[in-house]
A and B are shown apart, each in its own frame.
Chain A
Amino acid sequence: MSTEIQSDEELLLQFRDPSTKERAFESIIKKYQEKLYWHIRRLVINHEDANDVLQNMFIKVWKSLDNFREESQLYTWLYRISTNESLTFLNNQKKRNSISLDDEEYSPAYKLKSDPHFDANKLEWKLQMAIQSLPEKQKLVFNLRYYDEMPYEQMSKVLETSTGALKASYHHAAKKIEDFILNH
């Protein structure tokens, strides 16, 4: 599709033109939806939650894209929004659970085990269990580097953390995950 090879600059120009605004937005969704979906999915784990967060996120993007400043890349900006939306969703879910006392049902481990394809003996699922055991920031860093292959410079803009700290965080996260897999 021709829109998939369009640059962010071109898409933003089209978005600002009322006659091409909707079409440009559709192209932006198509260009980034998969990357953003998997980023969100790895954080919230189940598809329904990931779909909700992703759609809400794109609606927010529509409302605020006019004010987007091109000092930062659209790609970085979208990742930042999707990260924030995912974390907000998880925090809200945590708050609701603390009221209803359904901690177990909404825990990351429980969600993973609820996946129809979950297999506790497979290393790739153990890897997911290990990732969910990480602190929030380390989890984000590991996912963005290991799965999304995001350069540290870009990650630094998404998470507003120095590249040095991100490298250290990634190293610690990987070591913790390896220990978890070997000991479980």
Chain B
Amino acid sequence: MNTDPNILNEIREISPLLADLHGINVFQAPDNYFQNLPESVLIRLDKEKVNLNIQEPSFEVPNGYFESLSSNILKKIKEEEMGSESDELPPVLSGQKSINPFFIPQNYFETFPQTVLDKIRNEDKRETGKIVSFHFKKIYRYATAAVIAVGLFLTSYLMFQNNSGKGKSGFAVVTRKTVDDPGALKYNSEKAFNEGIASLSDDQIIRYLEKNGNSFDMDALINSSDTSGLPNPEDYLIDENTLNNYLNKINYKNFETQ
């Protein structure tokens, strides 16, 4: 090997020892290795099926190639997009991908929009009812308040009548003649009536109203009630505390224990 004098000088300046060793090769290659190497590489290329046979370039295109090129490309893109996911699946699953084991009623999709529209219309109707339903309990509480108010009114009225000397007992109005249910006869005094009312829970009152609410003569009830102190129903619907404030105002607790 011809040594480049510049490189030799360079190493001599750094290390004379290495300059003296320059050019010595301790490694050896087998005999005829370099003579045989090109053939060995070409044999390997052939064994590994690397394309050694160069085909002449062909500049011809099939008939109608360019006419159908754009649609073929689009088709290929679509196929690849569709196939990209199924390619990731095991063959046993990708083969099943197009099989739908589920059945639907005949004309399901034809009638589906109308079905949905009908459902929406029905829901709209129910929605209105639901607003009432949403405040169902509140309205019964409102009715409870009205009943209490009526009770207060009647009690006051009867007591006034009683105190006017019409009878010894203010609650003597509850007789066999006015009440069909014999169990109600035990409420024949003001005290018994108050205790009976006080013993009822809200739920019992609500259940009673749910069962018999329709049997009330609402006109008679409203006409005989002093509803002037009741909150406006709209206020009540907007603010839940309105009814509570009213009950506190009329000293509801005291009424219960009276």
The residues of A with any CB-CB pair to B shorter than 8 Å are: 18-19, 21-22, 25-26, 29-30, 33-34, 37-38, 41-42, 45, 47, 51, 54-55, 58-59, 62-63, 115, 117, 122-125, 127-128, 145-147, 149, 170-171, 174-175, 177-178, 181-182
Is B218 close to A, CB under 8 A?
A: no
11 A-B residue pairs with Cβ-Cβ distance under 8 Å, sorted by A, are: A19-B54, A30-B38, A34-B34, A37-B34, A47-B29, A55-B40, A55-B44, A117-B28, A125-B26, A147-B25, A174-B18
The reply on B11 being an interface residue by CB < 8 A is yes
In the complex, what residues of B have CB within 8 A of residue A178's CB? Answer: 14-15, 17-18
Report Cα–Cα, A51/B57, bound state, in Å.
35
Instruction: Return B4 CB to nearest CB of chain A, in Å.
Output: 5
Which B residues are CB-close (under 8 A) to A59? 41, 44-45, 48, 50
The reply to whether A117 and B11 contact each other, CB–CB distance below 8 Å, is no
A14 to B24, CA, bound (A): 36
Q: Which of B21, B33, B52, B54 contacts A123 (CB 8 A)?
A: B21
Let me know if B30 and A47 touch, CB within 8 A: yes
CB-CB < 8 A to A175: which residues of B?
Answer: 14-15
Which residues, 1 to 54 on B, are CB-close (under 8 Å) to A?
3-4, 7, 11, 14-15, 17-18, 21-22, 24-30, 33-34, 37-38, 40-42, 44-45, 48, 50, 52, 54
B residues 48-80 near A (Cβ < 8 Å) are 48, 50, 52, 54-57
CB distance from B180 to the nearest CB of A (A): 99
> Complex formed: what's the CA distance from A178 to B20 in Å?
12
| Alpha-carbon distance between A95 and B34 when the two chains are bound, in angstroms | 31
Q: Judge whether A128 and B30 touch: CB under 8 Å.
A: no
Query: Chain A residues near B41 (CB, 8 Å)?
Result: 29, 55, 58-59
Residues of B that sit less than 8 Å from A by CB: 3-4, 7, 11, 14-15, 17-18, 21-22, 24-30, 33-34, 37-38, 40-42, 44-45, 48, 50, 52, 54-57
* Closest partner residue, chain B, to A20 (CB atom): B54
B54–A42 CB distance below 8 A: no
Q: How far is the CA of A123 from the CA of B22 in the complex (A)?
A: 11
B interface SS class = loop
Sample of 16 more A-B contacts, CB < 8 Å, known A55-B40, A171-B14: A18-B54, A26-B42, A29-B37, A29-B41, A41-B27, A47-B27, A47-B33, A54-B37, A63-B50, A115-B26, A128-B26, A146-B11, A146-B22, A147-B25, A174-B11, A178-B17
The answer on a CB contact under 8 Å between A22 and B52 is: yes
Knowing A128-B26, A171-B14, say if A21 contacts B54 (CB, 8 Å).
yes
Contact (A22, B42) CB under 8 Å given A59-B48, A177-B18 = yes
Given A38-B25, A115-B27: A174 in contact with B42 (beta carbons within 8 A): no
CB distance from B31 to the nearest CB of A (A): 12
Residues on the B chain within 8 Å of A181, using CB = 17
Cα(A19)–Cα(B22), bound, Å: 43
Q: How far is the CA of A147 from the CA of B55 in the complex (A)?
A: 42
A21 to B34, CA, bound (A): 21
Task: List chain B residues, Cβ under 8 A from A26.
Answer: 38, 42
- Which residues on A sit within 8 Å (CB–CB) of B57? 18
Residues of B within 8 A of A42 (CB): 27
A47 contact set on B, CB distance < 8 A = 27, 29-30, 33
Which 7 A-B residue pairings sit nearest by Cβ, starting from the closest?
A: A18-B54, A178-B15, A29-B38, A174-B14, A124-B24, A58-B41, A149-B4
Residues of chain A within 8 A (CB-CB) of B50 are 59, 62-63
Q: Which residues of the other chain, B, contact A125 by a CB distance below 8 angstroms?
A: 26
A residues within 8 A CB of B3? Answer: 149
Chain B residues in 8 Å Cβ range of A51: 33
One of A25, A33, A55, A127 near B21 (C-beta < 8 A): A127
- Chain B residues lying within 8 Å of A122, measured Cβ to Cβ, are 26
Q: Is the CB of A149 within 8 A of B7?
A: yes
